[in-house]
A = this chain, B = another copy of it.
């Protein structure tokens, strides 16, 4: 398993804090299936770096800095998941891959993927290439692009 990043922890904190005022080591330990002793160390690190307020034995809460990072990460996560779902990836897998991708992508790439989702969603219909992709994914057969569509695209391409 990949090493967990600060973003991972802070995101999880944010999620747990929605239901509970304070986050306890046991919450994280059970969520990640790791030893509570390890979580204590993580709490100490997150606290040192200013992401959480932590006092021994009494649980922890996100600082403003922590909340900021959590929200930013969540935005990335959601955009990536939406993107993957758009491509026709299964829910569980989209969730998993979004989680992996959110930590590694360059901001410019991230930005472009967000814009990509916006462009596709702003359209009231499923773009034709997406229809073709879905069919290709299911059947393994890749249909041709209809000439009338090509004509229109060419027309708009010239305009630009």
- Contact A93-B120, Cβ < 8 Å, known A125-B157, A131-B153, A135-B160: no
A contact face: mostly helix, strand, loop, or mixed? helix
> Is A154's CB within 8 Å of the partner chain B?
yes
Copy count, this protein chain:
2
Residues of chain B lying within 8 A (CB to CB) of residue A146: 152, 156
The answer for the CA separation of A145 and B123 in the assembled complex, in Å, is 6
Residues 79-123 of A, flagged 1 when their CB comes within 8 A of B and 0 if not, give 000001001111001101100110011101100110110111011
28 contacts between A and B (CB under 8 A): A2-B104, A87-B109, A87-B112, A89-B106, A89-B108, A93-B106, A94-B109, A97-B106, A100-B104, A100-B105, A101-B101, A101-B105, A112-B137, A115-B133, A115-B137, A119-B132, A119-B136, A119-B142, A120-B129, A124-B150, A125-B150, A127-B128, A128-B156, A131-B153, A131-B156, A131-B160, A146-B156, A148-B152
